Amino acid sequence: MRALVTGAGRGIGRAVAEHLSGRGYRVALTARNEDELHKAAAACAGETLVVPADITSAVDQVFDRVEAAWGGVDVLVANAGAGSSAPVHRITDEDWSRMLELNLTAPFRCVRRAVPGMVAAGHGRIVVIASVAAKRGDPYVAAYTASKHGVLGLVRSAAAELAGAGVTVNAVCPGYVDTPMTDTTVAEVAAKTGRDPARVRATLAAKQPVGRLVSPAEVADAVWFCVGNGAVTGQGVDVSGGAVQS
């Protein structure tokens, strides 16, 4: 079986790649940072393919590389993403477009590219890493939240369309995860407010009833649940330490 993971160089994407590799999948890893990709690939248990690329502009090229090497993609995990923070009246057109391009349009293009081969094979698994922001609105993250609401809508509609074709489509919706993306959030908040970074991190952890950040491995476990269970489709699986109940 062959899997493609976007944003696979670090954080959630790397944890997912390692988990799938440990389950016997050949894993193609793509992200912009080639050094990080090679380190992530070295941590995998089985065969890997490193495909450095900017997923916002190179979806077809990434899939072409994987198909040329392995013949197709059985599992797509669309993980690449980023966040931004600003009051709604200060969000620039550029920031808005960047959030939508990376968090919504790039996953759409990946899904669009993966579906024909999966349907032809009669089997496929698509998992998009969304966020608890796909299910609620928090202040100062309107662009990010809009992109994540949109990608959950994409997942639900694609799942309904493909349910009879042997292809499942799900989202995993993490809360605050102990990743470099959260490190960036902490640094930005600390810089804007003058607060101690350790206190900022503690505040983010406290937003989750379990009182801590989610680990990347816990998110990878949820991805595997979506991959391994053919009766689960059209779902947004929360991994938020109880911050969102559904």
Nearest CA-CA partner of 41 in 17, 63, 59: 17
Cβ(119)–Cβ(73) under 8 Å?
no
Cβ(81)–Cβ(67) under 8 Å?
no
Nearest CA-CA partner of 234 in 177, 168, 175: 168
- The answer for residues whose C-beta is within 8 angstroms of residue 119's C-beta and 6 or more apart is 162, 165, 166, 167
Angle at 18 between CA 74 and CA 216, to 5 degrees: 110
Q: Report which residue type is found at 91.
A: I
DSSP H helices, 142-206, are 142-162, 180-193, 197-206
C-beta neighbour count of 60 within 10 angstroms = 11
Nearest CA-CA partner of 154 in 76, 73, 69: 76
Is 25 an annotated catalytic residue? no
State the sign of the Cα–Cα–Cα–Cα dihedral 217, 223, 226, 228. negative
**How many Å apart are CA 213 and CA 204, to the nearest integer?**
8
Residue of 25, 140, 144, 176 with catalytic role: 144
Q: Which two tokens stand for residue 89?
A: 């009246």
Q: Is 50 strand, coil or helix?
A: strand
Which residues are identified as catalytic? 144
